[in-house]
Copies of this chain bind each other. A is one copy, B any other.
Amino acid sequence: MTSYRDAGVDIAAKMRMIAALKQSVESTQTPAVLAGVGAFGGCLDLSTALPGLQQPVLVVSTDGVGTKTLVAAAVGRFDTVGADLVNHCINDILCQGATPLLFMDYIAAARLEPAIVAPLVEGIANACKEAGIPLLGGETAEMPGVYAEGAFDLAGTIIGVVERDALITGRTIQAGDAILALPSTGLHTNGYSLARKVLAPLGYDARPEALGGQTVGEALLAVHRSYANEIKTLRLGGVEIRGLAHITGGGLWDNLPRILPEGVGAVLWRGSWHVPPIFGLIVERAGIDEHEAFHVFNMGLGMLVVVPQQSVDGALAVVPDARAVGEIVTWDGQGPRVRLE
């Protein structure tokens, strides 16, 4: 943490919290880190972190976890949203082919409760360790009057790097290419306003039959999955990845078109992938149609990977839980660019 805004209450508890945070943060440090906790700016030696780059391109993404924080607060479990944040950001820069370098966090609340902030940062730090990157710094801010009592916000920024020649842009995508899906674990970090509205009345402790033994809270807090290993495996396996779309806010309709070049659209085949049961429960209770469901939620499609048809078998062999879910088609600008069949 590069700084800590202090509202002057219970300093001893805060000092313990800061010590715990420092330990979590330091546990993520790598040899490339020249300055972390306590520095005005965190410093990472790019030439040590990823040596030999000819034309390094920084790839950066800032994101939050939205109102998933309110579910975490209601359930009283805080480490999972920390991991959600990191994994969400990792997936965003994966879409451009970047290797993550470092993470920065931002945590703010009316009052920073050690019982909340410590597991939050631990969750962030653990996800960073899993990705092999340092939590290089961040900010924890206490802002009475800005935040509702008991609520908090969590955002972060990831920085990655990619050789300019290896940038994934989607521009080589062409009609006939295959679309693979890497499965989501649940809502990831989108659609929580609607999900809370229709599921909170059930109670987060409820175990509706549809969830097969899981509580509503558990299903809603399922950790946003990082696809770093799967994408690495595909690349090492020689699969030519032409495009990657992380299905987040705006769902399938808004996210897949972000990587499609002019003149092409996409068809996805209903029933070709597993839709986690939490989505059925929400859609039924909310009474929304399929189009709206695929706008608000990822509906089981965590990451879409566009590859040439001849790469499909090889890809499915090395990443067993990937599914072939559709294909790229020509699109004349009329009608929906992405559709379900």
Q: Is A116 an interface residue (CB 8 A)?
A: no
User: Contacts A63-B139, A69-B146, A96-B43: A7 and B58 contacting too (C-beta < 8 A)?
Assistant: no
Inter-subunit contact A60/B41 (CB<8 Å): yes
Q: Which residues of B contact A105 (CB under 8 A)?
A: 62
Q: A248 is contacted by which of B3, B148, B190 (Cβ under 8 Å)? A: B3
* Complex alpha-carbon distance, A58 and B106, angstroms: 19
Q: A62 is contacted by which of B57, B138, B246 (Cβ under 8 Å)? A: B138
Q: Which residues of B contact A164 (CB under 8 A)?
A: 34, 45, 47
Inter-subunit contact B43/A57 (CB<8 Å): yes
Inter-subunit contact A250/B61 (CB<8 Å): no
Q: Which residues of B contact A160 (CB under 8 A)?
A: 41
* Complex alpha-carbon distance, A56 and B54, angstroms: 12
- At the interface with chain B, which of A122-130, A150-158, A207-215? A150-158
Q: Is A312 an interface residue (CB 8 A)?
A: no
User: What is the minimal beta-carbon distance from A85 to any residue of chain B, in angstroms?
Assistant: 11
Q: Is A98 an interface residue (CB 8 A)?
A: yes
* Complex alpha-carbon distance, A259 and B186, angstroms: 46
Query: How many positions in chain A have a CB within 8 Å of any CB in the partner chain?
Result: 77
Inter-subunit contact A44/B57 (CB<8 Å): yes
Q: In the complex, what residue of chain B is closest to A193 when comparing beta carbons?
A: B7
Q: Mark A244-261, 1 if CB is under 8 A from B, else 0.
A: 111011100000001000
User: What is the minimal beta-carbon distance from A289 to any residue of chain B, in angstroms?
Assistant: 15
Q: Which residues of B contact A42 (CB under 8 A)?
A: 59-61
Inter-subunit contact A41/B147 (CB<8 Å): no
Q: Is A66 an interface residue (CB 8 A)?
A: yes
Q: Which residues of B contact A245 (CB under 8 A)?
A: 40
User: Contacts A146-B69, A258-B38: A60 and B102 contacting too (C-beta < 8 A)?
Assistant: yes
Q: A143 is contacted by which of B139, B153, B169 (Cβ under 8 Å)? A: B153
Inter-subunit contact A4/B43 (CB<8 Å): no
Q: Is A5 an interface residue (CB 8 A)?
A: yes
Give A residues with C-beta under 8 Å from B: 2-7, 34-35, 38-47, 54-64, 66-67, 69-70, 92-93, 95-96, 98, 101-102, 104-106, 108, 136-139, 141, 143-148, 151-153, 155, 157-162, 164, 167, 169, 190, 193, 244-246, 248-250, 258
Given contacts A41-B96, A45-B55, A47-B56, 16 further A-B contacts (CB under 8 A): A2-B62, A3-B248, A7-B193, A39-B258, A40-B93, A40-B245, A43-B57, A43-B167, A58-B101, A58-B102, A61-B104, A62-B138, A64-B139, A141-B153, A145-B148, A146-B148
